[in-house]
Amino acid sequence: MRDQDIHAIASEHAESLLASVRTTPFGPDAVVYKLRDKMFCLIGAVDGRPAVTLKCDPERSHFLREHLPSIRTGYHMNKRHWISVLAGPDIDDDLLRDLISDAYALVRDSLPKAQRIGLG
């Protein structure tokens, strides 16, 4: 995946998820996607490179970071529960979409039952 593609693909997929809300609480250079006021995706930069920071299961996070050099611990986030994905030859569109969907599902599943109604 190329640097110029990662933000567009991430935004398109995050916006397609049911009840996902786009916000910019950290300024115009960082786009945050939330579900019921809980963040699951941050689109911004890491060390000057385009990146997508995502909520991630700790065990999966460890596996991904061990096997994919373009995935790091979450930039300015809880290192156990967040990852930052940078563009690279080891990242493709399907993997990025899968990671975003998983981040969304983690947040959805953590919501109280009443807030999960209608979310699948």
Q: In the chain, what are the domains?
A: 3-109 (3.90.1150.30)
DSSP lists the bridge partners of residue 73 as: 83
User: What pTM did the predictor assign?
Assistant: 0.95
Q: What is the DSSP string of the chain?
A: --HHHHHHHHHHHHHHSTTEEEE-TT-TT-EEEEETTEEEEEEEEETTEEEEEEE--HHHHHHHHHH-TTEEEPTTS-TTTEEEEE--TT--HHHHHHHHHHHHHHHHHHS-HHHHTT--
Q: What is the Cα–Cα distance from 61 to 54, expressed in whole angstroms?
A: 10
Residue-level pLDDT at 8: 97
Each of the 120 residues of the chain gets a pLDDT tens digit; together they read 888 899 999 999 999 999 999 999 999 999 999 999 999 999 999 999 999 999 999 999 999 999 999 999 998 898 999 999 999 999 999 999 999 999 999 999 999 988 888 887
